[in-house]
Amino acid sequence: MSRPFNFAPGPARLPPEVLEQAAAEMLDYQGSGMSVMEMSHRGKHYTRIQDEAMADFRSLLGVPSDYEVLFMQGGAIAENSIVPLNLSRGGKVDFVVTGSWSKKSAAEATKYCDAKVIASAEQNGHFTHIPAVDTWGSRTDAQYLHLCTNETIHGVEFHALPNTKTDIVADVSSHILSRRMDVSKYACLFGGAQKNVGISGLTFVVVRKDLLGHALLSCPGAFDYQTVAANGSMFNTPPTYAVYIAGLVFKWLKEQGGVAAIEARNIQKSQELYDFIDASHLYAARVSPDCRSRMNVTFDLRDSALNDRFVEGGASAGLLAFRGHKSAGGMRASIYNAMPIEGVRALIAYMREFERLA
């Protein structure tokens, strides 16, 4: 089956092998006579699906034993409330704003704690760099520092974590499993599944165990990390089909050689695209080279009057959904784990031809 290349930021392209397996098992999951969508979350089939998905996620990410892995719902936007409800103790929380998502997280957290933006990269609504760490007005008594380590809309990625004594909580929605991460350097990391993990509906949270048990009284039980952990992420009915798809994605990723292998491919893919953009006269990358995202490549056409033609021509050539977010404008090619190098090369070939004819 020949399919177009989908550069959408999320929900995003899934590995075709995952879709094929899900299709094959749609009506009858492994002789159960039921679709995964129809079966009890307490039954033996689903219990195994969730246990395996959790175990595979743990081993792919290298989660140490003193961390809980939680499967929740509400997406990363709900975590903007759930994290401070669980981890702020109503005290001080620092935010470094490097794009729309960290800005949104900081605004939401003001409802629950003394949330302060200690550094912001925003300039005229644009984000193109990470403020130098020595300019951050970090508060020594902050409960944690919140970062969005890959800003999906603006394409700004932390390639290393800052050296700080404060616990780091990171929204890793759009680069989880795209690169190796030293989980022990984070107090908590979280994200929505619909980029590198699977489909929307599932939120993953990895949190250090010693931080559990301090949720604010106002925290709903279903969002209290300790309650969710104590119930094996089944305090309420989990998003069963999304967990099943995540499990298939994890098995696919293991077959690809795991996170280190996919990271090498992601470096290659993003490098080829940025190198082409940097060498061209028509296209310009937006973000400083030291913090360019490997997952979300943002760029402009120097003549923005060509934008519509560029996007429409791409769609006709089987290259979909690379227009930038409406708040940021320009272009954004999201090239998550499931985007093969052939997709990136097809995009480059299209861009080269478009530039030649422009």
* Catalytic residue annotation: 101, 171, 195
The SS3 assignment for 200 reads: coil
Smaller CB distance to ligand PLP: residue 4 or 74?
Answer: 74
Residues in contact with ligand PLP, shown as a per-residue x/- string from 315 to 354 under the rule CB under 6 A: ----------------------------------------
Verify binding: residue 293, ligand PLP, rule CB under 6 A. no
**Residues 62 and 256: beta-carbon distance below 8 Å:** no
Verify binding: residue 101, ligand PLP, rule CB under 6 A. yes
Q: Which of residues 195-234 bind ligand PLP (CB under 6 A)?
A: none
Q: Residue holding tokens 């929605």? A: 173
Smaller CB distance to ligand PLP: residue 192 or 330?
Answer: 192
Spatial separation of the C-alpha atoms in residues 133 and 114, rounded to whole Å: 21
Query: Please, which residues have CB within 8 angstroms of residue 304's CB and are 6 or more apart in sequence?
Result: 329, 330
Spatial separation of the C-alpha atoms in residues 296 and 339, rounded to whole Å: 12
Identify the residue among 8, 34, 77, 317 touching ligand PLP (CB under 6 A): 77
Q: Which of residues 139-198 bind ligand PLP (CB under 6 A)?
A: 148, 152, 171, 173-174, 192
**Residues 87 and 153: beta-carbon distance below 8 Å:** no
Verify binding: residue 22, ligand PLP, rule CB under 6 A. no
Smaller CB distance to ligand PLP: residue 83 or 229?
Answer: 83
Closest contact distance (angstroms) between CB of 194 and ligand PLP is: 6
Smaller CB distance to ligand PLP: residue 105 or 143?
Answer: 105
The SS3 assignment for 291 reads: helix
Identify the residue among 76, 93, 142, 301 touching ligand PLP (CB under 6 A): 76
**Residues 77 and 101: beta-carbon distance below 8 Å:** no
Closest contact distance (angstroms) between CB of 197 and ligand PLP is: 11
Smaller CB distance to ligand PLP: residue 199 or 351?
Answer: 199
Q: Could you give the C-alpha distances from 171 to 34, 153, 358, in angstroms and in order?
A: 35, 13, 39
Closest contact distance (angstroms) between CB of 72 and ligand PLP is: 11
How many C-beta atoms lie closer than 10 Å to residue 123's C-beta?
9
Q: Please state at what angle helix 240-255 crosses helix 16-24, rounded to 10 degrees.
A: 130
Verify binding: residue 10, ligand PLP, rule CB under 6 A. yes
**Residues 118 and 139: beta-carbon distance below 8 Å:** yes
Stretch that binds ligand PLP, among 73-81, 219-227, 299-307, 316-324 (CB under 6 A): 73-81
- Torsions phi, psi for 93 (to 5 deg): -135, 130
Stretch that binds ligand PLP, among 74-82, 136-144, 180-188, 342-350 (CB under 6 A): 74-82
Closest contact distance (angstroms) between CB of 11 and ligand PLP is: 9
Verify binding: residue 6, ligand PLP, rule CB under 6 A. no
Smaller CB distance to ligand PLP: residue 29 or 173?
Answer: 173
- Torsions phi, psi for 299 (to 5 deg): -155, 165
**Residues 259 and 180: beta-carbon distance below 8 Å:** yes
- Torsions phi, psi for 325 (to 5 deg): -60, 145
Closest contact distance (angstroms) between CB of 150 and ligand PLP is: 6
Spatial separation of the C-alpha atoms in residues 224 and 236, rounded to whole Å: 12
Q: Which residues bind ligand PLP (CB under 6 A)?
A: 10, 75-77, 101, 148, 152, 171, 173-174, 192
